[in-house]
Amino acid sequence: MSIFKRGNKYWVGFRFNHQRHRYSSPDNTLSGAKAYEAVLRNKLARGEPILTIAEKPKEIITFREFAKTWLDVYVKNNNRLSEQQHKEGCLRLYLIPYFGKYPLDKINNMDIENFKAKMMKTKLSGDSINHFLSTLSTCLKTAVEWEILKSIPKIKRLKVTPNKFDYLTEEEAVQILAQTEGQIKEMIFFCLKTGVRFGELIALDWNDIDFQEKQITIRRSIVRGIMGSTKSNKIRYIPLISSVSDMLIKRVKSQGFVFMRNKKPFTQHYSCKKLYQACRKAGLRKIGWHKLRHTFASHLAQNGVAIQAIKELLGHSDITTTMRYAHLSPSALRSAMNVLEPKEIRKISFGHNMATVDNKPIDIMTDLIPVNVNIPANIKQKQTSLSVNVL
């Protein structure tokens, strides 16, 4: 981008013969900046010194000024709406109030550590503070990519205790479903059997469900009332199982949203309220819609479904995200431990209670030695049978 705006001032920035040029426009309008750029390029093309027209700006851009440009140019071009709103909030409420007046090239490690210390004195969680640090890091890295900074300080995130992994047991899922009715009940059941995100659930259209091919297409998501792509920006396909098909086919339509309230998609606020009510009536802890997604994946893992298959069904971009469910897979752990099962050594009895030991006494020389080991004849003659407890 050769013409850009920082704060209230237009700037010209471009490359010529592999050299970077950046100047503030003397005419602070878009058309004036474009004309100024043309003058600068012509001077360079003729081999004339450019500094006779303009001196390089001596003022140093502040974090507040750069953050605004970063939001308008980088974030809006590269992030989904929900992520744009998240970054805007991080900057407006926390980062700009603290770093706003800092010259961009003067932010150092001590400044960042002081910011962390200040945030830790508040009621904010460690995860929230790490989100602020991540936003700050991405912002400063962009300044390096745009050649405004040469380097940035190292930003160390807080070490936080991982959140407790929670999901519903089959009995708990049944209890919650028993406390709901209508479309809310259908939505809960649909999430438990497909693992879709809430935004994907309310964006689902009847055209996305193929009853003949028994397949669901997940292609859109609604976040904060705005329709957009899925979180991974990919279309994925989920098999349509009979229980879900039987539930939906009773009220199938040719088009429109599958789940609607007052002819509009369900809102997150209303849906969460209904889910919380169901949890309270069932006497269970309060859970959100995303816990239903965890429940779907957890039940698959517990029943031995491969992690790669779970990844595809959930639509994760990276399998490391899916690996959180690996510990629930009994088959994977059992296969690993089976390697240690004795193959050539006969059954060995352990324990202090002799009632648990086989009636047949243990022969030290034969029962504790691999079958394929040859015992010297002179040792065999001396061996005696006796009962022992192996400790």
pLDDT in tens, 78-120: 888 888 888 999 999 999 999 999 999 999 999 999 999 999 9
Q: State pTM to two decimals.
A: 0.63
Range 319-324, long-range pairs (CB < 8 A, 24+ positions): 322/297, 324/165
Which DSSP state fits 267? P
pLDDT at 366 over 60: no
Quick: pLDDT tens for 182-199. Answer: 999 999 999 999 999 999
- Average pLDDT, integer, range 325-340: 71
Q: Which of 259, 329, 317, 319 is closest to 289 using CA atoms?
A: 259
Has residue 362 got a pLDDT over 90? no
Please check whether the two domains, 63-145 and 170-330, share a CATH topology. no
| Percent helix, percent strand, percent coil in the chain, to nearest 5 | 50, 10, 40
Residue 161 is predicted with a pLDDT of 80
Question: What's the rounded mean pLDDT across residues 155-183?
Answer: 90
Q: How much is the average pLDDT of 292-316?
A: 93
Here the tokens at position 88 are: 């805007």
- Would you list the domain boundaries of the chain? 3-52, 63-145, 170-330, 342-391
Domain 63-145 fold is: DNA polymerase; domain 1 (1.10.150)
Strand, coil or helix: what is 185? helix
CATH number 1.10.443.10 given to 170-330: yes
What is the arithmetic mean of pLDDT over 339-359?
55
Lowest mean pLDDT among 25-29, 233-237, 366-370: 366-370
Q: Print burial letters for 192-208: b (CB count within 10 Å at least 16), e (below 16).
A: bbbbbbbbbbbbbeeeb
Mean pLDDT rounded to a whole number for the chain: 83
Pairing status of strand 9-16 against strand 19-24: antiparallel
Q: In the predicted model, what is the mean pLDDT of residues 68-79?
A: 90
User: What's the pLDDT band for 52 if we cut at 50, 70, 90?
Assistant: very low
Would you say residue 363 has pLDDT above 50? no
